[in-house]
Amino acid sequence: MRIFSATVLAVGITAVLTELGIAQEVTREGLLNAPTPRTVQGYPDLSGLWIGGVPGSPGFSSTGAGGAFYVARSDDGSAAFQVRDGNFYWVEIDQEIFVKSDRENMPLYKPEYWEQIRWNEEYGYERPVDPGFGCKEIGIVKRGFPDEIIQLPNKVVLLYGRSPPAIREVPTDGRPLRSEDEYEGLNQLGGSSVGRWEGDTLVIETVDFPDELVWYSTRGWPMSANAKITERFSRQGNVLRLEMTVDDPAFIRLWEVRPIERQPNPNPNALFPPIPACIELAGDSISGERFGERFKQR
């Protein structure tokens, strides 16, 4: 069984949240106008579990009912995917079309990379050529928003539950970012990250990545070892917004990734979901999780 794209997983999560009635009856104005909790240091408190469902959030979705794609739920209602004719036979083929049709937010590579990018985009779904395929690390941009944030006076900890799970520990103690002559090609999720506060915004800069081991997207956009990723987390009321930019020497200009917004999990007893198991089988993978089970335990 092939692993689904990030877009498919996001659609599945959204459907489950809808079924469970989480954050679906709130308004954007209500979320933004809620009091912004702060730490004893005076910074916005980013700690907690963060879920989707923010009305009016930026994003990309299918044409909806009556269009080329629509929601087809699994038998037990635990997930939903955009598929043709409600037939799961088409799921991967249609997801490829679905993801590639998003042309509003793409990095612009220099001409010498165009042939490789076209090849990656054409065959990335058919064959496991994506270096993040299966249980391998997928990188910061693909992961997007962390499922949980733990904010401490001198660091923040970002937890990602998507398989394979990951933990990022980012210092905010004033230490400098690595310079290029200190790069080690760190083969881990975030390379080398350093955070700082700019007013009420947490800014995380990350450098020192492994070469040719991460794609920015399942569409075949490779990341250069000398790239720099900047994440900006800003909280207003009960909306936490992540804005991400990528400065890659292979790009013609800076790439601004589409922003992501989340709201706090309203369940005061919610816990980070159990870590799913990911098993690789001759290039393919299976993930020991079901969306419905994961989110009901939160």
Over the chain, what is the mean pLDDT? 78
Whether 1 maps to a domain, the answer reads no
Share of the chain above pLDDT 90, in %: 42
Does the pLDDT at position 103 exceed 90?
A: no
What residues make up the domain containing 74?
6-296
Q: Which residue has the higher pLDDT, 289 or 192?
A: 192
Residues in CB range of 7: below 8 A, 6 or more apart:
60, 82, 95, 98, 99, 102
Q: List CB contacts of 79: < 8 A, sequence separation 6 or more.
A: 12, 15, 16, 73, 290, 291, 292
Question: Is residue 10 pLDDT above 60, yes or no?
Answer: no
The pLDDT value recorded for residue 171 is 97
The pLDDT score that the predictor gives to residue 53 is: 85
Confidence of residue 88 (pLDDT cuts 50, 70, 90): low
pLDDT value at position 5?
A: 42
In a domain, 113, yes or no: yes
Residue with the bigger pLDDT between 75 and 158: it is: 158
Highest mean pLDDT among 71-80, 109-118, 208-217, 277-286: 109-118
Domain tally, the chain = 1
Q: How far apart are CA 52 and CA 31, in angstroms?
A: 12
Share above pLDDT 70 across residues of the chain, in percent, rounded to a whole number? 66
Residue 136 has a pLDDT of 80
- Give the residue-averaged pLDDT of 183-212: 87
Do the bridges between strand 148-152 and strand 192-198 make them parallel or antiparallel, or are there none, so unpaired?
unpaired
For 40-66, how does the pLDDT look when each residue is reduced to its tens digit (9 = 90+)?
999 999 999 999 889 888 765 544 443
Q: What DSSP string describes 118-147?
A: HHHHHHTTTSS-STT-TTS---HHHH-S-S
* Residue 93 pLDDT: 64
> Tens digit of pLDDT for each residue in 127-185?
667 887 777 888 899 999 999 999 999 999 999 987 688 899 999 999 999 999 988 87
Most confident of 118-122, 205-209, 289-293: 205-209
Tell me whether residue 282 is in a domain: yes
Answer whether 187's CB lies under 8 Å from 225's CB: no
pLDDT at residue 20 is higher than 50: no
Asked whether residue 253 carries a pLDDT value surpassing 90, the answer given is yes
Residue 80, pLDDT > 60, answer no
Burial of 286 (0-12, 13-18, 19+ CB in 10 A): middle
Q: Is residue 217 part of a domain?
A: yes
Residue 138 domain-assigned (yes or no): yes
Question: Would 21 be classed as within a structural domain?
Answer: yes
Whether 270 is in a domain gets the answer: yes
Q: Is pLDDT at 12 greater than 60 in this prediction?
A: no
